[in-house]
Amino acid sequence: MKFMKHCKKCPDYITDRSSVQTFDETRRLAVRQAMSHKDIEILSLSSIIQNLKRPAAATRIMMQFSPASTIKYSVVFRLFTAAITNMGTERHYHYLDDIEDGKGTKNFILNSSDFEAAKCWAGGLGQSATHAIVYAQLILKGISYGLHAFVVPIRDPKNLLPYTGLIVGDMGEKIGLNGIDNGFVVFNKYPIPRENLLNKFGEVTEDGEYVSPIKDPNKRHGAALGSLSAGRVNITCICEAMGIKALTIAIRYAAQHRLLPYLAAAYVLREFNTYFIEVFYQFSIDTNIGSKKDVLPDLGMEIHAISSACKSVAGWIMKDAIQECREASSGIGDVRNDHDANLTYEGENHVLIQQTSNWLLKMWPLILNEEKISTPLKSADFLSDGLEILRKGKFTAFTFEEICAPENIISIYQWLTCYLLKRSYYKVETELKSGKSNFWAKNNSHVYHCKNLSIVFIQHFFLQRMLSKISEAEDPAIKNVLTNLFVLYGLWSLEKHIPTLYHGEFAQGPTLPNLLQHSILKLCADLKNDAVSLIDAVAPPDFILNSILGASDGMVYKHLESAIYSSPYAMERPKWWKEIINWKDNKSKL
């Protein structure tokens, strides 16, 4: 509510949101809006620490209202500061208050070897950034110490002109999020002070020696990448928020079967995000104050694995949801275009999701040894019984009630995860034994093995979290409707895994697909009458939705009539009308 009050008051938001703006004006407005977010108390760190549910709530509403300015705000005021806090030390804290260009005598030299090493698309880099966090290989006396993060002055803060020694510029117009100035940079032997290395995980002394509190280079690499999880955790929530915006419009306009599985998915994701963002912020607080040190490394790895899969799968589900909504209604093109980048930034989904399968693959030898698997968030604990799950795995349901029983759905996903883990592990092993490098072995095992493994793993975790939410509900009516959403999402998502269920001989004969199809149709029919109430319960207010077909009063044709008649172009003759007249006979050329 506070955020909405702020936006209603702020002059930079009180523009006609349906009016066509120039590219440059879109940029200017987004920057001004992003700067104004700084004044919103609820977004401040102190407010977030008081209630860790606030970040998810704020992300949802801000992204539904103004995606470009929200992302711009997040990159500048959240990701930049998080990088300094997580990876820097006291000598960098001045950047948090007052960003200024450093001075020093001992320098690092940043160099992009050729144009293939250009960094592209970074948010804010195009026109406005004065500093960037740059991840680069640290090379000392010819020896590489791996990826490290540096604070790099880019433009003079007094006049926003780039410094010499680098080429920086804007990537131009995109299909969405045009308020963000995504940019490119190429460094040409560009010197930065030694102090600009973010040195919590690795330091270079005045004498040019490398020292690090983390001896294992892999762990050092993991720690350097750790602060990037924040982006993926938030993007998962952004995907949900943008999907719900589209679903609100489409379901209010035409609640129909094709939209209902996506409604179920939105609810499952919503519960997951509320849980996972809170987990992540608590993890960040503990990391920064140095508490729970014994559990943090394992928790960090689990968060990394989960966030790499949930960001990808949430992005894909909501891409399909938004497209389905577009086909079922209208006014959703902007949501579709703005959502699109979620599939790419913070890791292109197909590349990113390999992080999850890499984490899971390490567990197969433990399963073979019948060792107990216990992870801080318990996302993989069921793998302890992996051999038993595979031994017993058979599809045994014959009725609607049996296939819809939550424990049966969970056990199907557990079998799928164990089966795909086993197959992926042996596929990678076979590739390695045939002489392939680690990169090619993983690459050749990605499409039908590791990728599907990561997907079923995260779907199981989504469902597990949803079940936990359902168990907390006290009202039987709420329990019932949440269970129906759980079952619909669980069964509908199984459709894509049917080949694997037959391949692994979990199912035989036609019962499984027949029962699945029958149950999905029945669940959708049962849910149809509740669909509008369910979307109303999570919909953004009209001020934020800004939709003709999806307004909460349901007066579709009234709003449509007024929008059509009041459009500035609706009844005007075009300025170029003379070009289509044939003046010899005063007839149209068309």
Contacts with ligand FAD by CB under 6 A lie at 75, 121-123, 174, 177, 182, 341, 344-348, 350-351, 443
CA distances from 49 to 42, 55, 71, 347, 467 (A): 10, 10, 21, 28, 27
Cα angle, residue 457 at apex, residues 456 and 463 outer, rounded to 5° = 85
Residues ≥6 apart with Cβ < 8 Å to 225: 147, 304
Residue tagged active-site, from 240, 271, 302, 346: 346
Residue 123 or 331: which CB sits closer to ligand FAD? Answer: 123
Q: Do 445 and 431 form a contact (C-beta atoms < 8 A)?
A: yes
- Catalytic site includes residue 209: no
Residue 75 or 507: which CB sits closer to ligand FAD? Answer: 75
- In the complex, minimum distance from the CB of residue 364 to ligand FAD, in angstroms, rounded to a whole number: 21
Q: Do 484 and 473 form a contact (C-beta atoms < 8 A)?
A: no
CA distances from 456 to 123, 421, 461 (A): 32, 10, 9
**What is the C-alpha to C-alpha distance for residues 440 and 443, in angstroms, rounded to an integer?**
5
- In the complex, minimum distance from the CB of residue 52 to ligand FAD, in angstroms, rounded to a whole number: 25
Q: Do 492 and 449 form a contact (C-beta atoms < 8 A)?
A: no
Q: What DSSP character marks residue 15? A: S
Q: Do 41 and 223 form a contact (C-beta atoms < 8 A)?
A: no
Residue 228 or 247: which CB sits closer to ligand FAD? Answer: 228
- In the complex, minimum distance from the CB of residue 18 to ligand FAD, in angstroms, rounded to a whole number: 24
What ranges in 190-259 are assigned the alpha helix state H? 217-226, 229-253
137 forms beta bridges with 147
CA distances from 214 to 210, 380, 492 (A): 12, 27, 45
Q: What DSSP character marks residue 196? A: G
- In the complex, minimum distance from the CB of residue 166 to ligand FAD, in angstroms, rounded to a whole number: 16
- In the complex, minimum distance from the CB of residue 75 to ligand FAD, in angstroms, rounded to a whole number: 5
Query: What phi and psi values does residue 229 have, to the nearest 5 degrees?
Result: -60, -35
Q: Do 396 and 477 form a contact (C-beta atoms < 8 A)?
A: no
Looking only at the bridges linking them, the beta strands covering 143-153 and 119-123 are unpaired
Residue 199 or 445: which CB sits closer to ligand FAD? Answer: 445
Residue 129 or 456: which CB sits closer to ligand FAD? Answer: 129
- In the complex, minimum distance from the CB of residue 347 to ligand FAD, in angstroms, rounded to a whole number: 5
Which residue has tokens 């989904």? 349
Residue 302 or 346: which CB sits closer to ligand FAD? Answer: 346
Check whether 123 is labelled as a binding-site residue.
yes
- Which residues are designated catalytic? 346
Which residues make up each annotated binding site for FAD? 123
Annotated binding site: 123
